[in-house]
Every structure is written in structure tokens, then in C-alpha cells.
Amino acid sequence: NYEGTVYDAIGGSATIHLLVEAFYERVGKHPDLAPIFPDDLTETARKQKQFLSQFLGGPAYYTEEHGHPMLRARHLPFEITPTRKDAWLSCMREALEEAGVEEPYRSAIFERLTYTAHHMMNTPEDRK
Ligand code: HEM
């Protein structure tokens, strides 16, 4: 029972699905992001749905299948510059809108993701 969670308030798994599909649609076409992502984003999207579900208070699918997220460590193989962080967040901002996530949840989620995205940076700009 996920009553009272952000996950539930925004529409649960159906909304996470729309959000993640809208997000990777943009990532796959973004000149700063596409080069570091796989060509086939199916598996990436599947994991992101699992992760965002638990991040927003829903079922802990990510941890059930993959263990502790350790997101910063899992991102170390990729050069995440300030430019890529901004690109990731701009794709997410548009995806939240396309998925129909309403206020105040849209801004609250975006704020938490902004914080997490900052934490993921691991490469200064000039090494891009
Ligand atoms: C995986 C890039 C931020 C969650 C990945 C992958 C890349 C990437 C290249 C590997 C894709 C694959 O091989 O399937 C980035 C960039 C970010 C960023 C450039 C900019 C800051 C975030 C944030 C979150 C996140 C803020 C949390 C909401 C994930 C998850 C995975 C992932 C859950 C899958 C990890 C796994 O393989 O188990 N990311 N990411 N990422 N990212 Fe990010």
C-alpha cells in the first residue's frame, strides 16, 4: 500500500512509465547525452523505472533486482560533466511535463532530481 506517497499521488507505475519513456526519447536524441548511452535504451529505461519507483516512495523494484543503487559509483564509468548534468535535467524537465505530472509534485520531484544529478557529476568541463 503506497497511499500518501508521491508515487501514488502522481499516478503510480503508469505515470512512471510515461515519464521514463518521454525522458529516454529525449536522451537518445540529445547531442551531449546520446554518445555516452547505449544505442538501445530498453534496458536503461527498465532500470530507471525500477529506480524512480522506489525514489518516489513506491515499490523497491530496483533494490530487489540490483541491490543498493550506489548511483554515484555506478555512474563513474561515464564522464558526467556540468554540461551533461544540465542536459540530463533539461530532458527530465520536459519529460515531467509530457507525462502530465502536476504541481506541486512536478517541482518537488525536479528539485530532488537536481540534487541527485549534482551528486552524479564526476568530470570537469574541459575533459568533456
Ligand atoms: C544509468 C548517465 C544522472 C539514475 C546511467 C547510464 C548513463 C547515465 C550513461 C548507463 C546507461 C546504461 O548503460 O544502461 C547519466 C548522466 C546523468 C545521470 C549523464 C547526469 C547527471 C542520473 C540521476 C539518476 C540516475 C540524477 C537518478 C534519478 C540512473 C540509473 C541507472 C543509470 C538508475 C541504471 C544503473 C544500472 O545500470 O543499474 N546513467 N545519469 N542517473 N542512471 Fe544515470
pLDDT at residue 128, as a whole number: 45
CA proximity to 67, closest of 40, 49, 47: 47
| Residue with cell string 546520446 | 34
Q: What is the pLDDT of residues 76-88, one digit of tens each?
A: 999 999 999 999 9
Task: State in Å: Cα 11 to ligand 1 middle.
Answer: 23
Q: What is the pLDDT of residues 27-44, one digit of tens each?
A: 999 999 999 999 999 999
Q: What is the pLDDT of residues 79-115, one digit of tens each?
A: 999 999 999 999 999 999 999 999 999 999 999 999 9
CA atoms of 29 and 21, how far apart (whole Å): 13
CATH class assigned to 6-127 = mainly alpha
Average pLDDT over residues 50-60: 98
Q: For residue 55, give the ligand 1 atom closest to its CA.
A: 28
Q: How far is CA 29 from CA 35, 41, 59, in A?
A: 10, 11, 30
Q: For residue 84, give the ligand 1 atom closest to its CA.
A: 19
Sorted by sequence, the CB contacts under 8 Å of residue 26 that are 6+ apart come out as: 91, 94, 95
Q: Indicate the top mutation candidate among 40, 71, 127 to test ligand 1's pocket, ranked by most ligand atoms within 8 A of CB.
A: 71
